[in-house]
Structure 1
């Protein structure tokens, strides 16, 4: 049976209009009542990466959360909202993003991101035991509310990746340091989803982010809400909507390898608005080393060396830096590989930097630039790989 992904046109974040658009989006899936029963404890998981204004399109818009709360409460659900932001406390980020006001107005509860619990899932790939927010264990139903965005490390961030916010703050950085590989991080994301078991995803794609997301890109009007009980299918459809090749997205690659979710568009049934009716033209994606590297006749350790030495380097833009320290605090390396208080030539330690781009992700001022390496500028390695991808089928 095909996975169902539902699309609804949503032209603005107007509260009443968006509520009815979300209701229409969920109708082909059986409505919110198909996922929430009276008296159930419902955990809503928006994307609250950091203290960004909603207009920046970094975080799930408060109107999307408000609509989800209303629909869950209409079904008799008792709602808690949770996330573990990349920087800052949940309370401070919720205030800055407008989420706190929505939670208070709806009579819902803002969860405790400091309470954790260890979960054991025998079929996991990376971690049989995972420490996640305790709110997951306390909930009867988990509904995730991702934002459609590009991602400088993972190409695309959507429904599957949104559950990384269930990992307590400091541990996210530890995983970056431990794994240091996009596919391994993607496998971790599958593990988190297997453990947390989200029942439904409703994606905020009214405005998404193009360019160097998940925080340094630019808002882009898309005009859609997207929902599915199959999170991987939702991500595949969302990628197609904006012209991202889902086959280069690490979470989709991991899904194919480990048979997690629906990873092929022809195995997905689109309900509501057709994809062609909402398709976005000219959506700017992330420029990165494509996986054409796998055709090179070198062992994996050499490919890893190439990737490390040709990967873009973080650099601090002195004209934009506000010296908030978010990059320094968010770096998973110990000691941190980036420090804006150092002299310019020593602000980034290229030898210890693992190219996870957490600093770029967490910076509220767009002050972290991703500069091509000297080797790449001289050898034009990235340009050559990109040229090959357009001429070799199946890459």
Structure 2
């Protein structure tokens, strides 16, 4: 068995409900046993963009507040941080803090809780990595004694799901993130980048905010979906397997989980996970959770001509790709600026009687990293699926 995963029901972000559920999730696995008086703990959140908490894009501030209460009660100091997509400097990141409802935390904890103001970058070498043996990371992490990874359960166009493992990509400075998509454009290699980062930084505790998650066009422009849970574990891999199972996915749907399994770091299925603290003994599942992409359907086991033909057809036709919905585009050029492959140009188009600069994607250059979709502020860049592929997947 792998590290225990605790799951607690939590129906809303009400202060008392969060306190009760989060405390139970943490204490069931003795999750704060590493905390010593006087130490500094870094809370690595998911702050992918400037979105209000009710949008379910980022880690909810009520989860963060309760963690700060627990840690400061134990005599620790707290630094809260992340590197969103964009420039890694005080002006930009503090705008994210404000939008995400975090600015009040500093004044409410009498200096024991700080929002990160160190925007330095450091270089690292990791000989044991599978993919990312050299990389640049956010320097504030060097000044904390331990890390708690506090993620959000969401869909992700490239990785299937954004949760505990994927959240560590926020240790890479924002404007350099596209470089890693270019270095590792293949899905499996990029998934191993995420695993490598977890193995390098080794957070002491992982918390998942799954009270409200995101389905569909995630991780930033999807639809809020109530899930009603908070989860905790000392390692991310079994934790992500449980989160995937809650939203109807398996390890072959989520490349980061599959990469961990292949490296002997994570379980093969939910059956291999020791789940504790299930509220009322009831397994939490969300029916018909809308995915961003479909991975499992291109990998069929069991042999036979039918399965082989089905696999070949879906590999041919069920290829997702980013595609702009012109009617929702405002011509901000964010996709053009973030595309690591230089596959996007801005061209004039007549949209509802107005001439706008609309992104046009060169399919021969596109590496399907979905950076354009992830960082589109209006959700105008969509994950497009071939209709024929959808039909093939049902036969």
TM-score interval, normalised by the smaller of the two chains: 0.7 to 0.9
Cα displacement string for residues 147-192 of structure 1 (whole angstroms, at most 9, x for unaligned residues): 0111111111110110000011122101111211111111011111
Whole-Å separation in 2 of the counterparts to 1:181 and 1:308:
17
Corresponding residue for 2:108? Answer: 105
Give the CA deviation at 1:136: 1.9
Among 182, 198, 201, the alignment partner of 1:196 is: 201
Whole-Å separation in 1 of the counterparts to 2:282 and 2:345:
43
Corresponding residue for 2:262? Answer: 257
Sort the Cα spacing of 1:340 and 1:42 in 2 relative to 1 into closer, same or farther, 3 A: farther
Cα displacement string for residues 355-393 of structure 1 (whole angstroms, at most 9, x for unaligned residues): 111111111211112334xxx45xx24532x246xxxxx
- 1:27 equivalent to 2:20? Answer no
- 1:140 equivalent to 2:145? Answer yes
Give the CA deviation at 1:345: 7.7
Sort the Cα spacing of 1:101 and 1:329 in 2 relative to 1 into closer, same or farther, 3 A: farther
- 1:80 equivalent to 2:79? Answer yes
RMSD of the alignment, in Å? 2.7
Corresponding residue for 1:54? Answer: 53
Alignment of 1:32-181 (within 5 A): 32=32, 34-87=33-86, 89-106=92-109, 107=111, 108-112=113-117, 114-181=119-186
SS in 1 for 2:344: coil
In structure 1, list runs of 5 or more residues that go unmatched: 298-302, 389-395
Sort the Cα spacing of 1:85 and 1:294 in 2 relative to 1 into closer, same or farther, 3 A: same
Is the 2:250–2:269 contact (alpha carbons within 8 Å) kept by the matching residues of 1?
A: no
Cα displacement string for residues 104-146 of structure 1 (whole angstroms, at most 9, x for unaligned residues): 4333112146311122222111122222111222211100000
SS in 2 for 1:163: helix
Whole-Å separation in 2 of the counterparts to 1:47 and 1:344:
31
Whole-Å separation in 1 of the counterparts to 2:360 and 2:73:
52
Corresponding residue for 2:375? Answer: 362
The 10-residue stretch of structure 1 (227-236 or 278-287) with the greater mean CA deviation from structure 2: 278-287
Give the CA deviation at 1:314: 2.5
Give the CA deviation at 1:292: 2.5
Sort the Cα spacing of 1:73 and 1:256 in 2 relative to 1 into closer, same or farther, 3 A: same
Give the CA deviation at 1:310: 6.1
Is the 2:46–2:150 contact (alpha carbons within 8 Å) kept by the matching residues of 1?
A: yes
Is the 2:157–2:383 contact (alpha carbons within 8 Å) kept by the matching residues of 1?
A: no
Corresponding residue for 2:308? Answer: none
